[in-house]
Structure 1
């Protein structure tokens, strides 16, 4: 099978989604995007257009659980493949509202699969998470590491993976690439596609940027009693541009063979929260005051990728370092200190 040319991107206005749209447009793909803007804004597509120099073909505001609206999108466009980002993604929040997480993440995925089946679309790249591994210990995690989700977000993503694996087992026409993202951070080097938002961020890097900019008083560090060298949690941070390059390469290889394949996307290096605070301060020249607060439910001590399978099978490897992650995130914060609320919207070519 040839590489798909027209791709439906769900959740394309989100942080990784908007970077993926720019990357795919830059490499000649035609895009259709759906998003409900629950954690994003339509203004981001004006910035995607500036970065890529091209329009997204059509953008629809809808909840992917709305099967009628989603089916109408497939009916209007000849979709070759789907990239599925749309999901709720906060570990901490998922422990407070688990039903909403299962409803959105699992229900949205099954609604998407039914729409794909109804319209003869059988190729999918699924954005999953390293959180499915849970508390798997201190060694790098490869794709054979057993899943042990410790929170509803991770469990909902693991449920989606199981559904996709079962579909591929029973329907040989399907080809699915499941990408387990570790911790995408940073921003497009232009600074136009960062994850700045009006309220307090839910992720480490943008929170540090807001503290450095004076928008937040100090960074909450969730726990300093983990079994790690400095007591704070260790994660595998990867530049978002490396992540979306992997996704684009995955699309290029989607037609290599049927069935479901799973790949980790990470650098294979772990850094603690305090490591990241120190690197961000060094790179930007700004202090990042922090305070230790209690652990978040569902968090684990350490999560680091073994991503050699993606290098072996897809020819992808990450190339950007921590300094570039911090530098690009800070550039985005400086360029758009108040988020996207005041940004212009992209010219409308279809429904927005």
Structure 2
């Protein structure tokens, strides 16, 4: 049985990926600092899969703690989710984002180098493309100057990994996510941010549930179908399965280069107002929203061309936007 370390494994995407890993027969070790999740997620993963993953509460910004972890840990691969991830917050607190997102990455790669560990999957982002010149976005699109500190940490992260792969024969894949939504079909795990949500869908569901007074739509003057920003929304279970496909590619040595990157999205763009209407239809709940000014760091439109991932990873999405929104609403109601 292959043992996989999952950093940030109790987070939204991490927890769903842990479930898929265990369903595929992998042994999982989770590291999380619980800064944006709770131990209840560990219990939920155990309920869903029937297997309790090993868990270590560690802040990966503390180098000595990372060293101590790896002294006794032998793994066949690492999936690195741990990162701060809010665009607006990153612009307000850039140093925190660089310390957390870059520091923890470097410390893990140093341990991999020193202990001859291989097979690294990086949680990257479509923000590396900035406002792409052509849509849908392919992997051939240039990486542009980041619009936010968060986006910049993902760009720098990819550069660090690529240089490490070249110098130390590490094999790695960066998955450039678009916008994950939804919840597991069991409704035992989903997206539950601590504090005010930074992503659209939790804010939508919390507004529908009456937790939030209203939903702010940032800008209606973009050059899009209805003036609101367009994004690519992918069901989190589909995204989790992309990690399994990427991991198997590395373990089976079918990767064509020692650093590869893939777009992981639905391939379809939806505007904020389209998402609101789709949610109202899927949930039967009217949404109280208002148009406000644009948000710093936001781009106009981004959606993926996933041809490369479909072909090379033998992966494709299976769930629709409506399914993602319906499951997100069921998850919110369960709370």
Q: TM-score, normalised by structure 1?
A: 0.92
Q: Relative to structure 1, is the Cα distance of residues 168 and 198 closer, same or farther in structure 2, using a 3 angstrom cutoff?
A: closer
Report the equivalent of 1:348: none
| 2:184 aligned with 1:194 | no
| 2:63 aligned with 1:64 | no
1:266-319 alpha-carbon deviations (Å, 9 max, x no partner): 111000000000000000000111011111111100001011101111100001
| 2:234 aligned with 1:238 | yes
Report the equivalent of 1:343: none
Report the equivalent of 1:317: 316
Shift of residue 237, structure 1, vs aligned partner: 0.4
Q: Relative to structure 1, is the Cα distance of residues 256 and 100 closer, same or farther in structure 2, using a 3 angstrom cutoff?
A: same
Report the equivalent of 1:256: 254
Inter-partner Cα distance in structure 2 for 1:100 and 1:196? 22
Q: State which of 203, 220, 236 in structure 1 corresponds to 2:216.
A: 220
Does the CA-based 8 Å contact 1:234-1:270 persist in structure 2? yes
| 2:123 aligned with 1:127 | yes
Inter-partner Cα distance in structure 2 for 1:193 and 1:119? 34
Q: Relative to structure 1, is the Cα distance of residues 68 and 179 closer, same or farther in structure 2, using a 3 angstrom cutoff?
A: same
Q: State which of 97, 101, 106 in structure 2 corresponds to 1:105.
A: 101
Report the equivalent of 1:90: 86
Inter-partner Cα distance in structure 1 for 2:134 and 2:185? 32
SS of 1:209's partner is helix
Inter-partner Cα distance in structure 1 for 2:333 and 2:47? 18
Report the equivalent of 1:340: none
Report the equivalent of 2:48: 51
Count of matched residue positions in the alignment of Structure 1 and Structure 2:
331
Report the equivalent of 2:298: 299
Does the CA-based 8 Å contact 1:138-1:303 persist in structure 2? no
Segments of 4+ in structure 1 off by > 3 A?
A: none
| 2:39 aligned with 1:42 | yes
Shift of residue 196, structure 1, vs aligned partner: 2.3
Inter-partner Cα distance in structure 2 for 1:127 and 1:43? 23
| 2:263 aligned with 1:267 | no
Gaps of 5+ in 1: 337-352
What is the alpha-carbon root mean square deviation over aligned residues? 1.2
Report the equivalent of 1:22: 19
| 2:166 aligned with 1:166 | no
Inter-partner Cα distance in structure 1 for 2:159 and 2:232? 24
SS of 2:242's partner is helix
Inter-partner Cα distance in structure 1 for 2:61 and 2:197? 26
SS of 2:123's partner is strand
Does the CA-based 8 Å contact 1:222-1:292 persist in structure 2? yes
| 2:330 aligned with 1:334 | no
Does the CA-based 8 Å contact 2:37-2:194 persist in structure 1? no
Shift of residue 200, structure 1, vs aligned partner: 2.4
Report the equivalent of 1:136: 132
The higher relative CO (CA closer than 8 Å, separation ≥ 6) is in 1
Does the CA-based 8 Å contact 2:105-2:157 persist in structure 1? yes
| 2:8 aligned with 1:11 | yes
SS of 1:195's partner is coil
Gaps of 5+ in 2: none
SS of 1:141's partner is coil
